Chain A
Amino acid sequence: MLLTPQSIGWKLKSTLYFITGAIASFLALPIFFIVALSFGSSQWLIFPPPHWTTKWYERFFDNPQWIEAALTSLQVALMTSIIATAIALPTSFALVRGKFAGRDYLYSLFTLPMIVPVVIIAVATYSMFLSLGLTGTLVAFVISHVIVALPFAMISIINSLKLFDKSIENAAVICGASRLEAIFKVTFPVIKPGIFAGALFAFLVSWDEVVISVMMASPELQTLPVKMWSTLRQDLTPVIAVASTLLIFISIFIMLVANILRKRSL
């Protein structure tokens, strides 16, 4: 009922198809539009453009900075995602399973990095890294990104841990497993989607972070959003659309590969 396709009527089913189809088009529209923009000849994003061209692609590949920036972004985002998840995991266990008072208040304390305007975090951490002499380093990028990514990872994991029925884990312990073993073999597999979603959020927060990154960047080290932001501010060139288009195709490719691997393993 309501959660298996067989159990809902065709009326509800077709309404659902229609509604979600509309929302999916809403989500997809700007993405396809970026692809179209990247081939438009107008530098000023006039659409439809006077004619079509691939000159922005030439511009993109003429400039090694874009590729370097993308690689830096990837590196920073991966490290951020791993560290944020590693810190968020024990935190979530303590907050959900713990029996001490004030857990809700600790929770809101840990979500503070989401509430404080990013500009403030950016200026505050930038001053700190300046006095430590770390600005423009990978360390500064990763630490400052972990700060803002942590709440995302934490909320996601807490959410799935809350729904996990602890008695299953207890059953494993009663059957002779150690608590740690039970957590690794029983609990983790069940809350895996939550952990994965948390890691993904952390990755994306870092991947898309603009305001802090602009502060942390140096001429030698910048991430993709920094490169895009400075390009957007000065020249609205469709090279940005090119960069986005390539990113879109990379993510489609990753999704396809993931799907194929999943089918094989079944």
Chain B
Amino acid sequence: MSNKDLEVIIATDCGSTTTKAILIEKKGDTYRQTFRGEAPTTVEAPFEDVTKGVLNSITEVEELSGRKILDGERIITPNNGNVGADIYVSTSSAGGGLQMMVAGAVKAMTGESAQRCALGAGAIVMDVLASNDGRADHEKIERIRQLRPDMMLLSGGTDGGTITHVVELAQFLKAADPKPRLGASYKLPVIYAGNNKAHDQIKAILGDTTALIITENLRPSLERENLMPARHKIHDIFLEHVMQQAPGYPRLMKMVGAPIMPTPAAVGTMTEKFAKANKFNVLAVDIGGATTDVFSVFSEVFNRTVSANLGMSYSISNVMAEAGLANILRWLPFDIEEQDLRNRLKNKMIRPTTIPQTVEDLQIEHAVSREALRLAFDQHKALAVGLKGVQQERSISDAFDQTSSGASLINVMRLDYVIGSGGILAHSPRRTQSMLMMIDAYQPEGVTRMAVDSIFMMPHLGVLAQISEKAALDVFYHDCLVRMGTCLAPKGLAKEGQLIMEWEVTGSDGSRQAGELRFGDIIHVPFAAPKAKLVAKPVKGFDMGAGSGNRVEADIEGGVVGLVLDGRGRPFNLAKDPSKRRDDLNKWYKAMSMYPL
């Protein structure tokens, strides 16, 4: 079908708990999301058939829209009047998503490349094995045996180089005889993307005991990373092996008009399309109950990481364990006993569907969320390093630099746009809460626009972008993004109360706002104009992106929050004295009208 024929699209995302369906219709020249429905995901007993949840969610769309989409268990195509849809597409993260184990010869080189490759394909990386990962050989073998991944990615060595390490890894893998997570009777798929000189040996070692797939080396030379061939193989195997074993997926695969994508891969695609269309550096985050996914596009290089145990319900206690209680307590504008806080967080972990009923409880969740976002961002910065992605050359010195310093591609001064999704960001009672949580976690510098994906539509749009980029971007701009506004944060440090910037904003609707920003203050200016011109004049010692003391003119966006002028300085540190820290927090929360008094 040509894109011209696409008028009605039905899309679903099969999440681990909920299956969400959206209807997209072409209105004039523009695609708009018109109706949505949701139903519990039905991958687990007693249903064990993902299509049941899909059909239920589509039925809800039918009821709301009045459009007949289903004929029994079949989607009616093409659309004709008020019946049918032109295409049905879907993503899936149900049943734990795509779980992989990766291996590389040297942890910081091929190990890291293999990790980036698997993450970019939408996988959760259960472990990274490497010859030099510090574990004894028998410990590595035990680890391979314990984990039951969906597939494994084995890399190591540059083309034509030494084969010893990668052959050794293959031998360990064979000795461990790992079993796949689903379908005990089938062989574990292993993708080999290492030294091409070792193909024969790898086949001899793993050919009989695993479902071995050999592809191009993901690190053909020290200076070059070539992730796409292995990434494509991961997607192929996801569809051919993993999906075939998951309950009901063979049927779902027959229903769709385009290949099913792992949910994170689709979100990544949408982030990339948005960044490319606007020439933006973008950071997108999806903070869920169990995991936090971070996507970034900086200088056109895409990276994704998933922090598998940082989340707001199932993993809330792990956020406490990783961040430390002190780091959670520092965001609270009141005193709370350590024992009380510990018990509260554990009670949320064991009853993950409960919601905060009091403002105090809400503030505790917001404190945890800042730390989960911060930790996931730290992990992202650590992996989004050095290499300039697919088919990009770098010098040998860069390659060594990467291993030693891990210089990140992420530069918060050059960050143009932040998109947040996940319950805590998308459904906070006040939007100012979402915006300040992201500002506190990411500490953007200079000029940064911010939005939330209110109903987590990015997966649907990412898979749709494979068919029609226009449809995906239309809906993304008009229905998916809730623009919050822009954060203006001069980089530098000064004494409290000192003038650090003069600013003026003129909206496309002619509205004008201007003022001064003093160190230690936050100023919230409600400002809804979708487009505006900013003139910022930071004082000497403060940088808004054009160097210390230099005037900046920029295009910015207003939104449901407006402008947030963050005068807390960068790097931003909270006061060490508890009473001063609480006073500061109360002052900033009041300036943002964050919570009811």
A and B held together in a complex: no
Which residues in B have some Cβ–Cβ distance to A below 8 Å? none
